[in-house]
Structure 1
């Protein structure tokens, strides 16, 4: 049987063998999971030391942070000879949108309503761009030029269209709830529109990757603080990649045996088990211009329905 330490080493090895190494994506995970709850700013040197054991050296950190700054995710500040980086305004908004999906709790019961967006009046190039943005928000493709979402309301759809300069040309409708809420034809339509089979495969890979760690933690929970930070970072990194493709459909529209539920439970269980030791590691190894990073804000403890 593998120990928890062995499992973490396997996860790191798996990350390092991927080509190309997505250093920028992992740094986004670290900011979203560990740094944002503590004010969002950190010394570049302490960030480098933090991710070095995962296989991202100082040169790669600098290159990735420079790129994230150019893409307006981060903003830099010089204090003496040291560089400090924090989330920019647009970066913080993107983090909040992306990461609230990762840590969500249970969803309320579905009302049975749908928000429909018709893009048939948009010019082809603009229509494609708007469609991609709506799909990122979780809309599914019901028919040519017609996108649908079961939980995002009309005002949120209009706000997204306004950002894309398409509010005057798109048609937005909200349906009335009908019985039954999730008929067999509707479930089949949902399966096709959101490609749930491919999403289920991604969740299954996540489960296969992290179940050995959960089993090991249950049998001997002696994982050190640094390994807890590494495990937590890779856990959220891999889960986030699947979550961002997940439209967060209501339970009523999902298959009975849905891998996404199992993946969420596994991620929550591991996170709750190791997060405190990871936080102690962060307390000692992350610096701002004023000294150690402040403690996490209260929102941090609401993750996964509440951290104990």
Structure 2
């Protein structure tokens, strides 16, 4: 049986074999998972040292950070000869939207209502652009020019349309709940509109990738601090990639044996087991202009239903 250390090495090897290496995406994962809870700003040099064991060299870090700054994810500040980077305002808003899905997987009971957005009055080119953005927010394509969401309320839909400059040419409606809330035709429609079969395959790949690590941690939990940081980073990185494509539908609309539930439980279990040692590693590696990173804020310990 592979040890936990072997499992981490396999995860790093798998990450490095992806071409091109998505260094910018991994850096955003590290900011969201590790840096934002501790003040949000780090020296670029210490970030480079932190990611080197994962296979990202200093040149690639600098290139990726430059690109992320240009894309308004990050903002930089010079103090003497050193550069310090933090999430920008827009970057922090995007982070909060994306990462809350990762750490808080439970859904409140569904009311049975739907928010509908009709894009039929938009010209074809703009309609596709708006549709793409709404689908990123979790809307499903029900029919030509009609998108639907079971939990996002109309005010949130209107805010998104305002931001896209399409509110004046779109129609937003909310349906009444009728029994049964999730009839067979509706469940089939949901399966097609959100391509749940493909999403289930993505979750299954995540489970196959990380179950060996969980098994090894249960048998000999002696993973070192650096390996705990690497494992935690790749765990959240890979889970986040699937979560970004998950519309977070209510349980009533999902298949009974939904792989997303298993994936969240596995991610939570591994995270809770290794996060403390990863935090010890982060304290010694990352620097701000004032010195070591501050301690994590209270919200950090609310992740995954509460960290010990």
- Please give the range of the TM-score, normalised by the shorter of the 2 chains: over 0.9
SS at match of 1:168: helix
Tell me which residue corresponds to 2:55. 55
d(CA) in 2 for partners of 1:157 and 1:248?
16
d(CA) in 2 for partners of 1:4 and 1:231?
10
Runs of 5+ unmatched residues, structure 2: none
Tell me which residue corresponds to 1:86. 86
Tell me which residue corresponds to 1:184. 184
Tell me which residue corresponds to 2:138. 138
CA contact (8 A) 2:112 2:178 kept: yes
Tell me which residue corresponds to 1:150. 150
Tell me which residue corresponds to 1:45. 45
Runs of 5+ unmatched residues, structure 1: none
d(CA) in 1 for partners of 2:105 and 2:121?
38
How far off its partner does 1:8 sit?
0.1
Alignment of 1:178-257 (within 5 A): 178-257=178-257
Moved over 6 A (4+): none
d(CA) in 2 for partners of 1:277 and 1:50?
15
How far off its partner does 1:105 sit?
3.7
SS at match of 1:117: strand
d(CA) in 2 for partners of 1:138 and 1:76?
31
Cα deviation per residue 1:78-132 (whole Å; 9 max; x = unaligned)?
1111111111111111111111111114111111000000000011111111101
d(CA) in 1 for partners of 2:29 and 2:106?
22
CA contact (8 A) 1:106 1:305 kept: no
Tell me which residue corresponds to 2:265. 265
CA contact (8 A) 2:161 2:167 kept: yes
How far off its partner does 1:39 sit?
1.1
Tell me which residue corresponds to 1:166. 166
SS at match of 1:177: coil
Cα deviation per residue 1:259-305 (whole Å; 9 max; x = unaligned)?
00000000000000000110111111110000001111111111111
Question: 269-278 or 98-107, which moves further after superposition?
Answer: 98-107
Question: 75-84 or 190-199, which moves further after superposition?
Answer: 75-84
CA contact (8 A) 1:182 1:252 kept: yes
Q: TM-score normalized by structure 2?
A: 0.99
Tell me which residue corresponds to 2:306. 306
